[in-house]
């Protein structure tokens, strides 16, 4: 579906201008026959596991965290079953993200025929600079026809199997059709980069021609190899193209000066900007540094809400009710410059209405942060924000 929320010429100029600063990494539009939103972990994993059971030729998985808990155990069993049916299974897992996962978990998968690859395992030979580069993508590809993406790692806290206070509130989605093909190639490129040889993927049937009503999707990959951050450029394009409303949900909000300027400019254009951020965080230092940005945003008229019932982990942006940015990337320097990420831009009012309903429901159950309350925060809080603000690049 075509973008209609802002004048086409203006949006095109913004894309060209920011594309130059992003090293040309902004992608062309693709077609997805079906885009499905999963508003929580329970629905996401139910769909994912059902699809794994139906896989016929190929499964590719790429995850930052895989736990050896009930959810991880269920995944392992399904992958082993797929291998027994003759499906080729490839798995990339981040070595640091899975540091707490016993090596026996992956050894067992290898014995059962799953081809596992640890991304950037710990090694002093590579130096500290390389150690900080992590694979933060969350991606499952099935038969080159179906892709599952979003912010959910593999673990009970994401699947809604823990009590509410320890669970992550997260969002996933799936794509069918031609939009899946470049994701298979992206996976193969990551495997090649890490292992030194391409994975021997089976020949796959090409996706059928886009059906009537197919959805326009742009896929945006980010990595430290890019001279400029395509992830950040895409966020900035989205913010700059907003004419009426900008809804943002993000768990690790350390935006940096360029994103801050984009948000403040949107507010000056009379765009209604609402941010949903976490009231609690699994990385408390991130929340502390995030608070140091609140005053400037609130003074500009930007509304800030904090989700209290769960640990927020969803990464969503809705522009004028019709363009949705979602995936693995946070609004922080790590996602912009040091992580391997994957985001999608989905142009569909029907999909956007589902995203809006989800965000509005979360906003209704969250605490609004007022400027008066924020400026009255204690002296110690202000001091800690000031002291730790310089660490924003490393968080």
What residues act catalytically? 136, 138, 143, 313, 315, 320
Q: What does the longest C-alpha to C-alpha distance in the chain come to?
A: 63
CB 173, CB 344: distance < 8 Å: yes
CB 88, CB 59: distance < 8 Å: yes
* Closest residue by Cα to residue 348 from 376, 386, 319: 319
Query: Over the range 269-285, which residues count as b (16 or more CB within 10 Å of their CB) and which as e?
Result: eebebbbbbbbebeeee
DSSP letters, 267-321, are HHTT-EEEEEEESS-SSHHHHHHHHTTHHHHHHTT-EEEEE-SSEE---EEEETT
Q: Where are the beta strands (DSSP E) in the chain?
A: 30-32, 34-38, 58-63, 88-94, 115-119, 134-135, 138-142, 146-150, 168-169, 172-176, 215-222, 245-249, 272-278, 303-307, 311-312, 316-319, 323-327, 339-347, 367-369
């Amino acid at each position: 579906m075509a973008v209609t929320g802002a004048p086409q010429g203006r949006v095109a100029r913004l894309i060209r201008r920011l594309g130059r600063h992003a090293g040309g990494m902004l992608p062309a539009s693709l077609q997805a026959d079906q885009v499905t939103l999963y508003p929580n972990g329970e629905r996401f994993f139910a769909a994912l596991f059902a699809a794994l059971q139906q896989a016929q030729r190929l499964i590719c998985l790429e995850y930052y965290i895989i736990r050896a808990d009930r959810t991880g155990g269920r995944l392992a069993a399904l992958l082993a079953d797929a291998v027994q049916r003759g499906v080729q299974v490839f798995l990339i897992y981040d070595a640091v993200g899975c540091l707490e996962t016993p090596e026996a978990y992956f050894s067992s998968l290898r014995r059962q025929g799953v081809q596992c690859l640890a991304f950037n395992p710990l090694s002093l030979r590579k130096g500290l600079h390389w150690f900080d580069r992590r694979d933060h993508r969350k991606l499952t590809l099935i038969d080159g026809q179906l892709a599952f993406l979003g912010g959910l790692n593999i673990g009970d806290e994401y699947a809604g199997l823990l009590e509410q206070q320890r669970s992550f509130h997260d969002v996933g989605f799936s794509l069918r059709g031609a939009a899946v093909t470049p994701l298979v190639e992206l996976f193969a490129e990551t495997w090649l980069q890490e292992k030194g040889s391409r994975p021997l993927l089976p020949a796959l049937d090409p996706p059928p021609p886009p059906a009537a009503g197919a959805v326009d999707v742009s896929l945006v990959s980010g990595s430290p190899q890019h001279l400029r951050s395509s992830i950040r450029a895409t966020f900035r394009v989205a913010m700059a193209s907003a004419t009426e409303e900008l809804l943002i949900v993000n768990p690790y909000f350390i935006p940096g000066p360029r994103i801050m300027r984009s948000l403040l400019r949107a507010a000056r254009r009379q765009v209604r900007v609402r941010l949903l951020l976490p009231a609690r965080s699994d990385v408390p230092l991130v929340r502390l540094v995030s608070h140091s940005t609140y005053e400037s945003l609130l003074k500009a008229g930007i509304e800030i809400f904090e989700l209290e019932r769960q640990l927020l982990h969803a990464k969503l942006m809705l522009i004028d009710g019709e363009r949705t940015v979602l995936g693995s990337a946070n609004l922080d320097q790590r996602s912009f410059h040091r992580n391997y990420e994957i985001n999608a831009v989905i142009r569909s009012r029907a999909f956007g209405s589902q995203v809006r309903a989800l965000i509005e429901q979360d906003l209704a159950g969250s605490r609004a942060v007022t400027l008066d309350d924020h400026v009255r925060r204690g002296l110690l809080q202000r001091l800690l924000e000031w002291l730790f603000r310089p660490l924003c690049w490393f968080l």
